[in-house]
Amino acid sequence: MSEKWIDRSWKDILTENADDAILFFNPDLAEDRDYSLKPFLIPNELPAIDTDSDKGSRNSDVGLSVPLKTGEDQRIAFHIEQQHRDDKQFFAKRMFQSYYRMSDKLQMPVTSLAIFTGNIKPIDVYLASCYGTEIHFRYNIEDSRQKN
């Protein structure tokens, strides 16, 4: 299977079955979701936010705007990235950058999910420090690799 096929398949699954994906990957979000309103794709937001990325190699980044029960205008963005290549030293940083850029641009809370499909061991945290300034960013992961 080609990498682009894997990326495209995940994006299609997640966007065509948004409610099922929310329920499966983030049950707490599903519980707080307002089902009288539909979630919708945040079209082309991630490429615009992530200007450093190669758009052709990151097809599977998905942003969904999800309405919450707490109010008609209260929504969150559900940010999903699929990872199958062994570039984990940069992946956690990319997760943080996408999260931050999305929350800043959209001005709404964001929850992030990384789906791992390759042979790499998943990681769920980005840590950085510089002379007393620290970032500790943890994101949700789903390890969908085949188990032996």
Distance CA 22, CA 30 (A): 6
For residue range 83-121, list pLDDT tens digits in order.
Answer: 766 666 688 898 898 889 888 888 888 888 888 777 777
- Say which residue the tokens 């705007």 belong to: 65
pLDDT of residue 134: 97
pLDDT of residue 54: 47
pLDDT of residue 84: 66
pLDDT of residue 49: 45
Distance CA 48, CA 103 (A): 13
The domain spans of the chain are 3-143
For residue range 6-48, list pLDDT tens digits in order.
Answer: 556 677 777 788 899 889 989 999 999 999 988 888 865 444 4
Which residues, listed in sequence order, are joined to residue 33 by a DSSP beta bridge?
A: 68
- Give the angle 18-106-100 at the CA atoms, nearest 5°: 95
Q: CB count, 10 Å around CB of 48?
A: 11
Strands (DSSP E) contained in 12-68 are 40-41, 62-67
Strand order of the β-sheet with 40-41 is 40-41, 62-67, 75-83, 110-116, 140-143
pLDDT value at 142 more than 90: no
Distance CA 79, CA 110 (A): 7
For residue range 44-66, list pLDDT tens digits in order.
Answer: 544 444 444 444 444 446 788 88
**pTM confidence score:** 0.73
Query: Which DSSP symbol is given to 7?
Result: H
